[in-house]
Amino acid sequence: MAVTLIKSIKEDKNRAKHHHLKASIRYIMNPKKTENNLWVGSNCGTDSESIIRAFIDTKKDYGKEWGRQGYHFVISFAPGECDERTAYNIGKEFLESYLQDDYDYCFAVHNDHDHMHVHMIFNSVNRMTGYKYRYVNGDWEKYIQPITDKLCVKYNLPELVYDKTKKRVGKSYGLRMAENNNKFTWSKIIKADIDFAISVSEDFSDYKNNLIKMGYRLREGNSRKHGKYIAYFHPGLDEKESKKAHRDYNLGKDYTLTSIESRIALKDKTKLSYIIKDRSELPYINYPKSNKTRYQLLALNRVKQAYEYQFLDLRIKDAIRARKDLLRIDKIRQECDYILDNDIKSINDVRERLSEVKREINSIFREQDLLSAEGLSFSPEELEDRARYIELQNMLSHQELLSDEAFESVSDEVFNLEVKYMNNAIVLDGNPRTDSRRMEDLKEEKRILNRLLRDQEIYESVSFSGLEEQVIRKELGRSI
């Protein structure tokens, strides 16, 4: 069993921009290849034309009709390895697990050859957020492969193999494995806030006022396809992102305007959901506070407030920050662990440790340069390509600064260089490694320290409740 094809569907610059996308969808939905559409599925339409319209409508909603149009995965099976029903189930479950309902997608099993294969196409634009799907090196092994491994075990099939010589694709920007149930997204946060607002509202006007108190902006509109709807501008949006709203019909059937009105009228509290359901399992809630500096307590409280914002009586500024922190809670917990494990007492300790880490990294680089001068030589073209590759990788490491168009251009150039040096990877990989594990550890530590410096003002803005101040004063005998 093997993934034989993973590629992006680009815009057609010579004809209509959506030409390649339309052709790809029509190809995989061909009735002659799918027993009259017996083995096809989608979350956005019933035939190729309605699916195409849904893809394009999503792009228009967010003003992202240009650039990459979609992505095309193909999973193929050895002759006799599985039947149509199994292939259909694998394609369906793969997309449901990998994308959930965040992207428009369609899939089809083709049985017109000896080897069964399932085609899967999904939109380049996330229909919940408007972000475009982006690949980050290593995402296949970290996020996609575990899904396919589970499917192989479930259906008693040989291991699914990713052919790395084919073009790579990966996770969506800003939503790295957001489909994983353990991750937080704005869609999940908005739905939890809507559920809470419904539970405390007497009527629809009260419901809107409660969301406004939480920091939301609301806009009611009318869609030709969906009828009346509400667009939610969540509290984390800044002025530059003011156009990025979540429309209720993209949140699920329980969150449409009609469903919300019905749930309020019926006093339906059964769908009340919390971001964290069992508070007893939360990390750091009962972490001992004695012998901790103010900086360390701020780190602990930042994590606690993110996990518990729905339970706490926070100022609106703190509640908004807590929601934003949930989206990157893994990194914030990593920062907190680092502060406590290394007994970082203040921001000055962060600066001093960062200087030490930089000195050690530079020392390893100097050692590598000596080894390179002794044992390696590259042509002028190879040196130029290597320098460009390093530059491109640095750009991708700060991809949040890139527009969708710039990201797509950079990642295409990276791929072309990797293909060019497929049989001579040392040109791009660089010098011989000296203590490469130590270098990776230092680079990771440097990233954490740089985040701590960048977020200094955020940490300083974390507040303590009156009760927390009293407890800490009593435990530590001092003010915080």
pLDDT value of position 167: 40
- Bigger pLDDT: 434 or 184? 184
pLDDT digits (tens, 9 = 90+) for 271-316: 555 666 555 555 555 555 567 888 888 888 888 888 888 777 778 8
Task: Look up residue 240 and give its two tokens.
Answer: 């530059």
Query: How far apart are alpha carbons 49 and 453 in whole angstroms?
Result: 51
- Bigger pLDDT: 480 or 414? 414
Task: Look up residue 64 and give its two tokens.
Answer: 């992202």
Lowest mean pLDDT among 26-30, 37-41, 77-81: 77-81
- Bigger pLDDT: 475 or 442? 442
Query: How far apart are alpha carbons 151 and 161 in whole angstroms?
Result: 12
pLDDT value of position 283: 54
Residue corresponding to tokens 């974390």? 462
- Enter the pTM of the model: 0.50
pLDDT value of position 89: 93
The 246-247 sheet, strands edge to edge: 217-223, 227-233, 246-247
Q: Are 52 and 42 in contact (CB under 8 A)?
A: no
Report the DSSP pairing between strands 70-76 and 2-9. Answer: antiparallel
pLDDT digits (tens, 9 = 90+) for 326-335: 888 888 888 9
Task: Look up residue 386 and give its two tokens.
Answer: 């290597």
- Is residue 137 very low, low, confident or very high in pLDDT (cuts 50, 70, 90)? low
Query: How far apart are alpha carbons 414 and 423 in whole angstroms?
Result: 15
- Is residue 44 very low, low, confident or very high in pLDDT (cuts 50, 70, 90)? very high
- Is residue 109 very low, low, confident or very high in pLDDT (cuts 50, 70, 90)? very high
Share of the chain above pLDDT 70, in %: 76
User: Given a cut of 90, is residue 252 above it in pLDDT?
Assistant: no
Residue of 23, 132, 120 lying closest to 67 (CA atoms): 132
Q: Which residues of 409-430 are buried (b: 16+ CB within 10 A; e: fewer)?
A: ebbeebeebbeebeeeeebbee
- For residue 123, list its beta bridge partners: 70
Average pLDDT over residues 165-170: 39
What domains appear along the chain, each with residue ranges and CATH number?
Answer: 2-162 (3.30.930.30), 186-265 (no CATH)
DSSP E strands, 28-97: 40-42, 70-76
- Is residue 401 very low, low, confident or very high in pLDDT (cuts 50, 70, 90)? confident
Longest dimension (CA), the chain: 79
Q: Which residues contact 286 (CB under 8 A, 6 or more apart)?
A: none
Average pLDDT over residues 77-99: 87
User: Given a cut of 50, is residue 111 above it in pLDDT?
Assistant: yes
- Is residue 365 very low, low, confident or very high in pLDDT (cuts 50, 70, 90)? confident
Task: Look up residue 121 and give its two tokens.
Answer: 């196409």
- Is residue 179 very low, low, confident or very high in pLDDT (cuts 50, 70, 90)? very low
User: Given a cut of 90, is residue 52 above it in pLDDT?
Assistant: yes
pLDDT digits (tens, 9 = 90+) for 341-362: 898 999 999 999 999 999 888 8
- Bigger pLDDT: 370 or 112? 112
pLDDT digits (tens, 9 = 90+) for 214-224: 888 898 888 88
Residue of 451, 357, 452 lying closest to 365 (CA atoms): 357
Amino acid identity, position 113: H
User: Given a cut of 70, is residue 266 above it in pLDDT?
Assistant: yes
Query: How far apart are alpha carbons 142 and 256 in whole angstroms?
Result: 34
**Angle between helical axes of 380-397 and 404-420 (0-180°, round to 10):** 140
Q: Which residues contact 35 (CB under 8 A, 6 or more apart)?
A: 84, 111
pLDDT value of position 277: 58
Average pLDDT over residues 125-134: 86
pLDDT digits (tens, 9 = 90+) for 420-463: 877 676 677 665 444 556 777 888 899 999 999 999 888 888 87
Query: How far apart are alpha carbons 169 and 189 in whole angstroms?
Result: 27
Q: Is 393 helix (H, G, I), strand (E, B) or coil?
A: helix
pLDDT value of position 286: 52
pLDDT value of position 478: 47
Query: How far apart are alpha carbons 341 and 229 in whole angstroms?
Result: 49
User: Given a cut of 50, is residue 198 above it in pLDDT?
Assistant: yes
